């Protein structure tokens, strides 16, 4: 209990939790839209990694933070076009495509990283006056590197897009009853492809943020399965945006807790168990809540016109 108290009263714990939660939020906000459209995009891991690597190379070559963030987002978009068109234009299984993309990106980035060895410079810290002075949570939320602040408007923008636009209504219809949506004139597979393009952009941007705004360096293992945790956060949150945000915050806090314990001098649990802690919590959360929530009715079901 003493160790837990020391961690919970340390500002570094909260700052780390926000940084890790922001990475998950970049990916999960787009993945939430894609899953509401009825597509389960498991290539989020590859999109995050491609965005991270592309931004690392870009900042090394041109030394422009904004351009590096943009190129990272475009790298995620490029992968999403492969996922979207193979899964929802050609009759390829979306799970097989996603796994293939993840493995391809991991191998390709590992090779190119050894060849190029990009040098990364991190973004500067921007503090919001007054708000950053709030004890514990102030520095965590309002004294971070400026790319993190991009996630603050991103989350409400996703809510507005899904619930306040015609496109969002058609996306939700494609995920709940694609046959009825098709009869109504909605291009079901087109909406699903577009939702995957969106998660590609947000995940690529998330990977770029993580390299430039959170870590300040790059290695091919930098994402470390967090793309899958982002997918789990969407499921954990019951396919609602507020639930997905809560899931990202929870998993970000667990990762921060795992890192903060050794820094506070508490390592009795062992390195291996601490490293596994985020994934243990993910599995436990899925086991407790997955059976209590209803996914979109057509989630992960391919749509072929005329077939039910």
Say what the pLDDT of residue 255 is.
Answer: 84
Cα 220 to chain centroid, rounded: 17
User: What confidence tens digit (pLDDT) does each residue in 125-183 have?
Assistant: 999 999 999 988 899 999 999 999 999 999 999 999 999 999 999 999 999 999 999 99
Task: Give every CB contact of residue 58 below 8 A, 6+ residues apart in sequence.
Answer: 64, 67, 68, 71, 72
Say what the pLDDT of residue 293 is.
Answer: 74
Structure tokens at 158: 């996703």
Crossing angle (nearest 10°) for helices 166-176 and 188-209: 110
Q: Quick one: which of 231, 237, 239, 236 has its CA closest to 176?
A: 239
Domain ranges within the chain, ordered by starting residue: 2-123+146-292
Say what the pLDDT of residue 6 is.
Answer: 62
In contact, 137 and 14? CB cutoff 8 Å: yes
Q: How many CB atoms lie within 10 A of CB 288?
A: 10
Backbone angles phi, psi at 126, to 5 degrees: -120, 120
**182 burial via Cβ count (<10 Å: 0-12, 13-18, 19+):** middle
Task: Give every CB contact of residue 145 below 8 A, 6+ residues apart in sequence.
Answer: 122, 123, 124, 125, 126, 212, 213, 214
Q: Quick one: which of 193, 165, 169, 203 has its CA closest to 39?
A: 193
Q: Which ranges of the chain have pLDDT less than 70?
A: 1-8, 262-274, 286, 289-292, 306-308
Within 63-187, residue ranges assigned H as helices are 65-88, 94-116, 137-142, 151-163, 166-176, 178-183
Give the span between the Cα atoms of 260 and 265, in whole angstroms.
Answer: 9
**Would you say the pTM of this structure is higher than 0.85?**
yes
The CATH number of the domain covering residues in 2-123+146-292: 1.10.3470.10
Task: Give every CB contact of residue 153 below 8 A, 6+ residues apart in sequence.
Answer: none
Say what the pLDDT of residue 65 is.
Answer: 94
* Side-chain half-sphere CA neighbours of 161 within 13 A: 19
Give the span between the Cα atoms of 4 and 22, in whole angstroms.
Answer: 23
Say what the pLDDT of residue 13 is.
Answer: 86
């Amino acid at each position: 209990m003493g160790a837990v108290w020391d961690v919970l009263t340390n500002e570094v714990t909260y700052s780390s939790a926000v940084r890790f939660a922001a990475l998950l939020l970049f990916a999960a906000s787009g993945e939430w839209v894609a899953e509401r459209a009825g597509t389960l995009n498991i290539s989020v891991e590859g999109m995050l990694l491609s965005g991270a690597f592309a931004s690392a190379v870009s900042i090394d070559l041109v030394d422009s933070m904004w351009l590096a963030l943009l190129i990272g987002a475009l790298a995620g978009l490029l992968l999403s076009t492969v996922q979207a068109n193979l899964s929802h234009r050609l009759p390829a299984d979306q799970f097989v495509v996603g796994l293939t993309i993840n493995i391809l990106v991991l191998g390709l980035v590992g090779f190119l990283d050894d060849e190029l060895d990009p040098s990364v410079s991190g973004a500067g810290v921007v503090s919001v006056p007054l708000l950053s002075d709030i004890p514990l949570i102030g520095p965590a939320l309002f004294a971070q590197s400026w790319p993190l602040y991009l996630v603050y408007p991103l989350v409400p923008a996703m809510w507005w897009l899904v619930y306040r636009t015609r496109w969002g209504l058609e996306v939700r219809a494609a995920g709940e009853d694609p046959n009825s949506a098709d009869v109504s004139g909605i291009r079901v597979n087109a909406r699903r492809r577009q939702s995957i393009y969106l998660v590609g952009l947000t995940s690529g941007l998330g990977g770029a943020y993580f390299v430039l705004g959170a870590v300040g360096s790059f290695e091919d293992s930098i994402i470390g399965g967090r793309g899958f945790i982002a997918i789990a956060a969407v499921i954990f949150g019951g396919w609602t945006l507020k639930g997905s945000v809560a899931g990202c915050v929870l998993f970000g806090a667990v990762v921060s807790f795992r890192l903060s314990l050794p820094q506070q001098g508490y390592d009795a649990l062992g390195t291996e168990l601490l490293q596994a802690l985020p994934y243990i919590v993910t599995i436990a959360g899925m086991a407790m809540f997955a059976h209590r929530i209803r996914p979109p009715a057509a989630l992960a079901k391919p749509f072929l016109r005329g077939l039910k």
